[in-house]
């Protein structure tokens, strides 16, 4: 399973047997849930292309799966541009097989974010707003959402997604079931 980490952009051609799964959700203060998700995705489908916005280095336990993480023909200083490319490819591009997977854990108090980083999950809220905006123009947005039912503002998030998509959003509290739903949504 290839794992793509910031900020190097690679051309990915997905397929129903090798979909793109974008791991969206809090990083700082989120307790590295992305590593658990990537490992479980590997067990489900080792051909999936996993996009993780975490800035893991070559010493990370999943480093053997990184796709040329330190070499690229394109490198942008803004990680948000990198995320935008892959989030759109996973969730929106009609010629791709993919899914945006949102996992919303409560902030980990044992490994909290630095208060200088701003409010917890600030970038996740921005990404969820982007997804809701896409739903207004395209009802075929591919995304799944799950996490802790006590995530701050969850009721508002789910209500906004329901209004934008004009359908109820299933919220998964079990990561393994969420990962399976992402793989089904991706095809």
Residue-averaged pLDDT of the chain: 90
The Cα 142–Cα 139 span in angstroms is 9
What's the average model confidence in pLDDT over 140-159?
Answer: 95
Nearest of 174, 131, 133, 126 to residue 153 by alpha carbon: 126
Give 23-75 pLDDT, tens digit per residue.
999 999 998 999 999 999 999 999 999 999 988 888 888 888 888 755 445 55
pLDDT band at 157 (very low <50, low <70, confident <90, very high): very high
Q: What is the share, in percent, of the chain residues with pLDDT greater than 90?
A: 65
Identify the CATH class of 3-186. Answer: alpha beta
pTM for the model stands at: 0.92
The Cα 56–Cα 90 span in angstroms is 21
User: DSSP letter at 127?
Assistant: H
Q: Are 68 and 8 in contact (CB under 8 A)?
A: yes
pLDDT for 125 equals: 94
pLDDT score of 180 more than 70: yes
The Cα 6–Cα 85 span in angstroms is 11
pLDDT score of 10 more than 90: no
CB atoms within 10 A of CB 49: 28
pLDDT for 115 equals: 87
Give 94-127 pLDDT, tens digit per residue.
999 999 999 999 999 888 888 888 899 999 999 9
Q: Are 126 and 83 in contact (CB under 8 A)?
A: no
Tokens representing 130 are: 């982007």
The strand pairing partners of 21, in sequence order, are: 50, 99
Interior/surface letters 125-138, b for 16+ CB within 10 angstroms, e for the rest = bebbebbbebbeee
Strands (E), 52-136: 98-104
Instruction: Please state the domain extents for the chain.
Output: 3-186
pLDDT for 75 equals: 57
Higher pLDDT, 98 or 9: 98
3-state SS track over 15-35? ECCECEEEEECCCCCCCCHHH
């Amino acid at each position: 399973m290839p794992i793509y980490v910031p900020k190097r952009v690679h051309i990915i051609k997905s397929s129903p047997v090798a979909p793109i799964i974008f791991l969206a959700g809090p990083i700082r203060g989120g307790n590295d849930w992305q590593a658990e998700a990537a490992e479980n995705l590997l067990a489900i489908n080792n051909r999936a292309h996993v996009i993780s916005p975490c800035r893991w280095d070559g010493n990370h336990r999943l480093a053997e799966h990184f796709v040329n993480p330190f070499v690229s023909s394109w490198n942008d200083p803004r990680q948000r541009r990198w995320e935008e490319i892959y989030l759109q490819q996973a969730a929106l591009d009609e010629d791709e097989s993919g899914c945006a997977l949102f996992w919303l854990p409560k902030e980990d108090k044992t490994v909290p974010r630095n208060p200088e980083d701003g409010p917890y999950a600030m970038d996740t809220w921005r990404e969820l707003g982007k997804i809701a905006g896409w739903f207004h123009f395209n009802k075929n947005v591919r995304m799944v959402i799950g996490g802790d039912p006590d995530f701050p503002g969850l009721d508002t998030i789910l209500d906004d997604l329901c209004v934008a998509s004009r359908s109820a959003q299933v919220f998964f509290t079990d990561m393994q079931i969420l990962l399976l739903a992402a793989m089904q949504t991706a095809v």
